[in-house]
Structure 1
Amino acid sequence: MNERHEPESEPEKDIYQFEKAHAGPTVDMNEDEHENSKIEAVRLVVPITDDPTLVCITFRFWILSLFFSIIGSVINEYYYFRVNYGTFSIYFVNLASYALGTGMARILPTNKLTIGSYSMSFNPGPFNIKEHAVIGIAVSTASTVAYATDILTVTDLFLSHRINALGSIILIITTQCLGYGMAGVLRKYLVYPAEMIWWSNLVQVVFYNAMHNTDEFKTKKMIHGWSYMKYFWVFCGGMFLWEFVPQYLAPMFVFFDWICWISPFNMDIGSLFNSYTGPGILSLSFDWTSIGGSTMWLPLSAQLCNYGGIIFSYWIILPILWFTNTLGTKSFGEPLTAALYYTNGTYFDIAPYLNDDFSLNNTLYEAGPPVTMTPMYALGFFFSFVALAGCVSHIICFNGADIMKSWKSAVGSDDEDIHTKMMRTYPEVPQLWYAAFYIVMLGLSMMVCEVYGLQLPWWGVLIACVLSWLLTLPICAMAAITGFSPGLNVITELICGFMLPGKPIANMAFKCYGYMAMAQCMTLLSDLKLGHYMKIPPRAMFVSQCWGAVVGGIFNYLTMLVIINAHRDVLVSPEGDPAGVWAGNNPKIFWGSAQIYGALGPQRMFSSAGGYSFVYYGFLLGAILPIILWALSKKWPKVSWEKFNITIIAGGMSAFSNGLTQGILGSVIVAFIWQFWLFRYHKNWWSKYTFILSAALDTGAAFTGLFIFIFFAGGLSNKMVVKAPTWWANYVLPDGSNGVYANINRCGAANQNWTSGTLDH
């Protein structure tokens, strides 16, 4: 390989020399195997070698991260409004950026680009693994759908109020970046300890090392003597071809609700065994995106808690509520929906009850009939409260001692994790950077709420931030250890509902700032752990994530505007898109919550008169159950009581408040095969194949979705739309448009024209 190498540059002006000047010699810990991580999965896949001379922030980084950040933010925002939700795979970015990066290393000149007092070479040398990983981290940050676009979408679609471009972009960027300052404080407790695994990063570590053929990956061979990457491409290609069946040719295989075929026009059967608008009891999905590679490597105990909660809630509790018609469950037509209704089952629209400033007109509302929600939607709030309180209680009981130990020892103790010791080579990001960044974002947050009519006063932003500070540590610790965590969205809605009743926009803004500060802190901490495993300098991590957040937020906003302008009528319709393409379920859920907690207020929706006052007991139940389990662990210490995780169980019980429950049974099957049978009885095979196979299958499925989006679904041009052929597994509506399988009479009568199982009002 003929690669151009950068000659030594002047240290006072070359940005690359800054990294090299602070780097120590190459570190190889293979001689001290006893120094390896105490976590078995980490020992199996994360190398304990490092080359501190590798440079991360390069000209190639800026170009490739910008290019893929734009693509990722646009595609994920597009999917956000679709019925069949997909993702822009980071594995696609890793593969494509590797090809482009190595190509740029061959052809770019070694001339320098000078900006102010800094200069950088167009080609500093071979495209290295750390440079590659930092590009992926920047793109993954940019490719998340900014939570603030929900506020902008809801106010535009349902309130006919559009915030201007400057206010919208400031809102998006502040909500995306506010959590970064928090991460700077919490990294000592949520990144450095070995117990903070952040499971999804292990796949990335294997993938990057396999692509760059580093260390032991040079000698490891797969089946038939294949290299890691040949093995990856074979299974990636196979999944790419298969996914054309469920994603394009036969959407029936996404929602394979076979029990519905027994009695297709029976409302009871359709409501309970339909996985599109119901719980999908015993339904299958042959779409890998509904199952996901994480089922192959997340801890089995955590997965069993999650799926156990789902099955208990949606396969047991829901049918009981349905057949007993508890709280009028049948009156609403669909058992799982985020919409609000009058008590007679008629859809509720709040717009006529709002004042010009979008606050609730209490006189008009009180003069009309009462409003309610479906029982399962209310139970979703109850279980969310259980999960949040349970998270705090569980972490205090089972992990509090370890966290306090980390608090006291911080960095430099004798039992410090080997990867933390290796990262001492690199200068840390000063706390002042994080503090200054946080203060600037906080000031802009208060400004945008006061200036752009978001109904949330400056002190409301401060309260939202205080709430996120209090709860981020236990929530992120739960995510790092188990791979699952609750959110702050429900508790922030509840607090703001009591604090600022009758103001739905204020409720959305408070939720966004309170929840996203925690969520973005979690994202940064997870990426910092990936940098920890990959030995990426912390300052390079800081630059890449800030860069990705800004680029992604801007293009999220632009894409949102295009979609809203083109599909407004379909997105606001309660019936959705008859073609089954555009649904806008996520903004509808967001708006439904804003109506419950913001406009109507928890005082009305969860009063004793409304029948849903029991939801508050979720806090008490969630707080008590982990304490009971902790007490049992003291009585019978040989039993792993901490694995009965109330937070994860309750999270599963509230996971599908708006339907789309496909993939549960398939996920359980995959989890048992990989995390029980293979991990227990064939551990060598598991450690060798699992993570690269997971990456291959996820990448192949994501490639298919991207290919369909670009070439068949009009991603490049509406003139390029290619409809799948009509056959028994791909229903077509009378107007000639493709419909989702759930609309077929084989699984529920169209337009609610049931022949049996109806409820006599």
Structure 2
Amino acid sequence: MDKKKECEISQEKLEIEDNGLEKALKCDTLSLKEADPENSTIEAVRLVVPLTDDPTLVALTFRFWVLSFFFAAIASIVNQYYYFRTSRGGFPLYFVNLTSYVLGVALAKILPRGNITIGRHSMSLNPGPFNIKEHALIGIAVSTASNTAYAIDIITAMDLFLKHRMGAVGAIVLIITTQCLGYGMAGVLRKYLVNPAEMVWWSNLVHVVFYNAIHNTDEFKTKKMVRGWSYMKFFWVVCGCTFLYEFIPQFMAPLLLFFDWVCWLNPYNKDFWAMFSSMAGGGVGIMSLSFDWTVIGGYTLWLPVSTQLNQFSGIFLSYWIIVPIIWMKNILGARTFGRPLTPRLFHSDGEPFDITPYLNDDFSLNNDKYNASTPVTMTPMYALVFMYSFIALTGCITHILCFHGADIWKTWKQSRNSADEDIHVKMMKDYPEVLQIWYAAFYVVMAGLSCMVCEVYGLQLPWWGLLVGLAMGWILAFPICAMTAIAGTGPGVNVISELVCGFMFPGKPLANMTFKCYAYMATWQCKELLSDLKLGVYMKIPSRSMFAAQLWGTVIGGVFNYVTMILIINAKREYLDGTKDDPNGLWTGLGAQIMWGSSLIYGALGPQRMFSPKGNYHFIYWGLLIGAIIPIVQWSLSKKFPKIKWSLFNITIFAGGMSAFPGGLIVGLVPSFIVFLVWQVWLFRYHKNVWSKYTFILSASLDTGAALTGLAIFLFLSGGVSPKLSFVFPSWIANYYLPDGSNAPYLGVNRCGAFNNTWTGGVDE
């Protein structure tokens, strides 16, 4: 029978048949689809983002202001607290989303219906049921507050190592400006990096499914999972099982976190240890396994196939082929430094390099002392990382220009023609837009305050140097953000900013830290805010409400980051600056030490010395040319052989995989690749309906359960709440240690490496 005729019949029998209402609803849905068949051009977006909206829902409610302040303050305090702890933890956003939903529903039941009036503005205390838009906006505000402000590294390093504390006003201005400059950039770029359908911003799809599932929206009411479960029942079951399981690899059996089984074939051979041990052993981690979901990651279920193939290929080439060759052939004295992967600097004889004896009182380099010593060297792999980062950066620029430039130019020309806009952007026309002048004015104010804080508070960076850093952020923000929106990942600008400032201001470590912070954070925050704006489009959150929520979260996060930092430094200074060792091993200033050490390397020593044409590492600059040329060659070949999809090879993502160290050690490549093959290749190809139904909610539930386990272990088993709540799981085969706390005769829990350098093979005579 014709579906329309069936709908008409079911409507006539609506009062008689028990299922008439359900059929009538299906009829309405069918009519809507026939009336407006337009949908996103991106398949994954069509599968998970509803084409519905309720303009009557208010996002900036009284409940939003209360709950966002509460969770943003807690998130910023907890994450700043973790910054100074040896055991890293986090405040999971999914935990915030779950808890804020419970509290939001409770407030909707207990708050009175009256209004609260401030001046000429009035707001209802309880506008009705807790709705999906205010819930999503709470999550966005908290996410902007939860990350520890990068400027905290500068303030902490000055306080700990220079014994100089910036005034509270200057410090907060430094934090807020570095966090907010990205707003103006995001506002200007939103037409080109948010509005087009091709700019997916893939990680947002997980959040879209989560919010719609927990609020049981119309689009999700009829969707049933295995055994007829609802979306949220499926989420809670998987999340709970993951939470319980993760106690095994994260606490009870850390051997399963670093399962370096190849090492067991010859555990006392140094070459085996260097090649097959992973994080716990200090090696490359070839064929290493991991049974911890936090290592595998939910992104393997949904990140585009081409992106993951490029990443895996880069890791495989770099760490399974290039590094073993360098180590076994002792290229550039690789074996001299003791292990293939380490970011430390050394003297030419392999002794670790300490820059302190070569500094003047003002922390600038004493050239006479330095020139009288042996030259500074680094491991070949660490030098290659710089080259790979240059390949990724220039490759990003030329790849976007070659393969997406025409589409971006078309988008620019069509930006005033609403007929060509994405359906979700068209639906946002119901809400007033944030004017471009708002973003421009905001950026100018933040840039002016940035110049002021650099000039007034002795950061060694003159105003014109800051403007160079900001210009650098503008130039690189567009290709980096476009790459992230399209492919799900993109390069960073921290290395290039350090090098540029090192050439501009040699011998000035504070200038190097400040320049890097502004250049890097402007680009990074722009990327994060653009991603939030795209989530707002998917969730149909009014643009002005989004602007207010992002700014609100940023200010809360910055203030509480600073206050928490001051309190911790005042209480634990001697542990953080290295004067004393913490007897409980809970407190560390490692984050600030890394930032300070990097500023000394690039600011005090300078790239002129480290990467001079007469040295061993000048080859890193070839990365700039290699990255720029490869996409151009691909584009030329695509014109000659158009049937081949040349753009699928992305040198930026490939080089990003090659430079996974030191940002992320190579652990769990094999299980991640297996999950990717099963889910993204086999299931997507042969059971696409299953993939579309389960992918994003499964990713959210697995990641949430694993994150909650880590939080619970840190707070209640590792001394997070109190040193008294610090427990060590009893020694057994998967958590082996001796009464003195050592892992003798093996080096680490992964059973790879001889204790006290007692090797039986693979050691140079």
TM-score (norm. length: structure 2): 0.91
Q: Residue 116 of structure 2 contacts residue 123 of structure 2 at CA under 8 Å; is this kept in 1?
A: yes
Instruction: Give the whole-Å Cα distance in 1 for the aligned partners of 2:569 and 2:678.
Output: 43
Report whether the alignment pairs 1:194 with 2:205: no
Instruction: Give the whole-Å Cα distance in 1 for the aligned partners of 2:757 and 2:81.
Output: 30
Instruction: Give the whole-Å Cα distance in 2 for the aligned partners of 1:247 and 1:558.
Output: 31
Equivalent positions of 1:12-51 (< 5 A) are 30-32=33-35, 34-51=37-54
- Aligned letter for 2:751? R
Equivalent of 2:300 in 275, 295, 299? 295
Q: Residue 216 of structure 1 corresponds to which residue in structure 2?
A: 219
Q: Residue 9 of structure 2 corresponds to which residue in structure 1?
A: none
Report whether the alignment pairs 1:67 with 2:67: no
Q: Residue 517 of structure 1 corresponds to which residue in structure 2?
A: 522
Q: Residue 123 of structure 1 corresponds to which residue in structure 2?
A: 126
- CA shift, 1:362, in A, is 1.9
Q: Residue 259 of structure 2 contacts residue 750 of structure 2 at CA under 8 Å; is this kept in 1?
A: no
Report whether the alignment pairs 1:270 with 2:273: yes
Equivalent of 1:305 in 299, 310, 325? 310
Q: Residue 682 of structure 2 corresponds to which residue in structure 1?
A: 677
Equivalent positions of 1:608-757 (< 5 A) are 608-657=613-662, 660-732=665-737, 735-736=740-741, 743-744=748-749, 746-757=751-762
Aligned partner of residue 37 in structure 2, secondary structure: helix
- CA shift, 1:341, in A, is 1.2
- Aligned letter for 2:612? S
Q: Residue 106 of structure 2 corresponds to which residue in structure 1?
A: 103
Instruction: Give the whole-Å Cα distance in 2 for the aligned partners of 1:716 and 1:242.
Output: 23
Aligned partner of residue 119 in structure 1, secondary structure: strand
Equivalent of 1:543 in 536, 540, 548? 548
Which digits, 9 at most, give the CA deviation of each residue in 1:476-523, with x for residues without a partner?
000000001001111111111111011122111101100110100000
Q: Residue 30 of structure 1 contacts residue 49 of structure 1 at CA under 8 Å; is this kept in 2?
A: no
Which digits, 9 at most, give the CA deviation of each residue in 1:552-585, with x for residues without a partner?
1223334444555666677667999998866766
Aligned partner of residue 360 in structure 2, secondary structure: coil
Instruction: Give the whole-Å Cα distance in 1 for the aligned partners of 2:302 and 2:533.
Output: 20
Q: Residue 279 of structure 1 contacts residue 659 of structure 1 at CA under 8 Å; is this kept in 2?
A: no
Which digits, 9 at most, give the CA deviation of each residue in 1:378-409, with x for residues without a partner?
10000000000000000000000011111122
Q: Residue 358 of structure 1 contacts residue 505 of structure 1 at CA under 8 Å; is this kept in 2?
A: no
Equivalent of 2:477 in 465, 472, 479? 472
**Structure 2 vs 1, CA of residues 722 and 70 (structure 1 numbering), >3 Å: closer, same or farther?**
farther
More deviation in 647-656 or 581-590? 581-590
Cα RMSD, aligned residues only = 2.5
Q: Residue 138 of structure 1 contacts residue 544 of structure 1 at CA under 8 Å; is this kept in 2?
A: yes
The count of aligned residue pairs is 734
- CA shift, 1:194, in A, is 0.3
Report whether the alignment pairs 1:258 with 2:250: no
Report whether the alignment pairs 1:173 with 2:158: no
- Aligned letter for 2:178? T
Instruction: Give the whole-Å Cα distance in 1 for the aligned partners of 2:529 and 2:414.
Output: 23
Report whether the alignment pairs 1:494 with 2:499: yes
- CA shift, 1:84, in A, is 5.9
Instruction: Give the whole-Å Cα distance in 2 for the aligned partners of 1:664 and 1:244.
Output: 21
Q: Residue 278 of structure 1 contacts residue 660 of structure 1 at CA under 8 Å; is this kept in 2?
A: no
Q: Residue 391 of structure 2 contacts residue 627 of structure 2 at CA under 8 Å; is this kept in 1?
A: yes
Report whether the alignment pairs 1:148 with 2:151: yes
**Structure 2 vs 1, CA of residues 556 and 663 (structure 1 numbering), >3 Å: closer, same or farther?**
farther
More deviation in 708-717 or 297-306? 708-717
Q: Residue 23 of structure 2 corresponds to which residue in structure 1?
A: none
Instruction: Give the whole-Å Cα distance in 2 for the aligned partners of 1:82 and 1:434.
Output: 37
- Aligned letter for 1:497? G
Instruction: Give the whole-Å Cα distance in 2 for the aligned partners of 1:362 and 1:141.
Output: 43
Which digits, 9 at most, give the CA deviation of each residue in 1:409-436, with x for residues without a partner?
2143422110111111111111222122
Equivalent positions of 1:391-540 (< 5 A) are 391-540=396-545
Q: Residue 90 of structure 1 corresponds to which residue in structure 2?
A: 93
Which consecutive residues of structure 1, in runs of 5 or more, have no partner in the other structure?
A: 1-25
Which digits, 9 at most, give the CA deviation of each residue in 1:285-340, with x for residues without a partner?
11111111011000011001011111111111111111111111111123222221
Which digits, 9 at most, give the CA deviation of each residue in 1:178-210, with x for residues without a partner?
110111100000000000000000111111011
Equivalent positions of 1:312-331 (< 5 A) are 312-331=317-336
**Structure 2 vs 1, CA of residues 188 and 621 (structure 1 numbering), >3 Å: closer, same or farther?**
same
**Structure 2 vs 1, CA of residues 213 and 626 (structure 1 numbering), >3 Å: closer, same or farther?**
same
**Structure 2 vs 1, CA of residues 282 and 588 (structure 1 numbering), >3 Å: closer, same or farther?**
farther
Instruction: Give the whole-Å Cα distance in 2 for the aligned partners of 1:742 and 1:517.
Output: 42
Q: Residue 372 of structure 1 contacts residue 610 of structure 1 at CA under 8 Å; is this kept in 2?
A: no
**Structure 2 vs 1, CA of residues 573 and 333 (structure 1 numbering), >3 Å: closer, same or farther?**
farther
- CA shift, 1:131, in A, is 0.4
- Aligned letter for 1:459? W
Identity percentage of aligned residues: 66
Q: Residue 72 of structure 1 contacts residue 143 of structure 1 at CA under 8 Å; is this kept in 2?
A: yes
- CA shift, 1:742, in A, is 6.3
Q: Residue 235 of structure 2 corresponds to which residue in structure 1?
A: 232
**Structure 2 vs 1, CA of residues 47 and 554 (structure 1 numbering), >3 Å: closer, same or farther?**
same
Instruction: Give the whole-Å Cα distance in 2 for the aligned partners of 1:447 and 1:334.
Output: 45
- CA shift, 1:550, in A, is 1.4
- CA shift, 1:458, in A, is 1.2
- Aligned letter for 1:300? V
More deviation in 264-273 or 311-320? 264-273
Q: Residue 337 of structure 1 contacts residue 658 of structure 1 at CA under 8 Å; is this kept in 2?
A: no
Q: Residue 579 of structure 1 contacts residue 737 of structure 1 at CA under 8 Å; is this kept in 2?
A: no
Report whether the alignment pairs 1:248 with 2:251: yes
**Structure 2 vs 1, CA of residues 207 and 471 (structure 1 numbering), >3 Å: closer, same or farther?**
same
Instruction: Give the whole-Å Cα distance in 1 for the aligned partners of 2:248 and 2:430.
Output: 50
Q: Residue 297 of structure 1 contacts residue 690 of structure 1 at CA under 8 Å; is this kept in 2?
A: yes
Report whether the alignment pairs 1:342 with 2:335: no
Q: Residue 179 of structure 1 contacts residue 518 of structure 1 at CA under 8 Å; is this kept in 2?
A: yes
More deviation in 162-171 or 510-519? 162-171
More deviation in 382-391 or 56-65? 56-65
Which digits, 9 at most, give the CA deviation of each residue in 1:1-43, with x for residues without a partner?
xxxxxxxxxxxxxxxxxxxxxxxxx9x9644453100111000
Q: Residue 167 of structure 1 contacts residue 452 of structure 1 at CA under 8 Å; is this kept in 2?
A: yes
Instruction: Give the whole-Å Cα distance in 2 for the aligned partners of 1:653 and 1:573.
Output: 33
Aligned partner of residue 720 in structure 1, secondary structure: coil
Which digits, 9 at most, give the CA deviation of each residue in 1:47-90, with x for residues without a partner?
01111110011111111111211222233334445566454322
- CA shift, 1:681, in A, is 0.8
Aligned partner of residue 113 in structure 1, secondary structure: strand
Which digits, 9 at most, give the CA deviation of each residue in 1:439-493, with x for residues without a partner?
2211221222222222111111111001111111111000000001001111111
Q: Residue 89 of structure 1 contacts residue 698 of structure 1 at CA under 8 Å; is this kept in 2?
A: no
Which consecutive residues of structure 2, in runs of 5 or more, have no partner in the other structure?
A: 1-28
**Structure 2 vs 1, CA of residues 742 and 548 (structure 1 numbering), >3 Å: closer, same or farther?**
farther
**Structure 2 vs 1, CA of residues 281 and 560 (structure 1 numbering), >3 Å: closer, same or farther?**
farther
Aligned partner of residue 314 in structure 2, secondary structure: helix
- CA shift, 1:746, in A, is 2.0
Instruction: Give the whole-Å Cα distance in 2 for the aligned partners of 1:218 and 1:131.
Output: 20
**Structure 2 vs 1, CA of residues 631 and 572 (structure 1 numbering), >3 Å: closer, same or farther?**
farther
Q: Residue 265 of structure 1 contacts residue 746 of structure 1 at CA under 8 Å; is this kept in 2?
A: no
Q: Please identify the structure whose Cα radius of gyration is greater.
A: 2
Report whether the alignment pairs 1:184 with 2:187: yes
Q: Residue 571 of structure 1 contacts residue 582 of structure 1 at CA under 8 Å; is this kept in 2?
A: yes
More deviation in 232-241 or 72-81? 72-81
Aligned partner of residue 144 in structure 2, secondary structure: helix
- Aligned letter for 1:96? T
Instruction: Give the whole-Å Cα distance in 2 for the aligned partners of 1:559 and 1:295.
Output: 35
- Aligned letter for 1:170? V
Instruction: Give the whole-Å Cα distance in 1 for the aligned partners of 2:270 and 2:585.
Output: 21
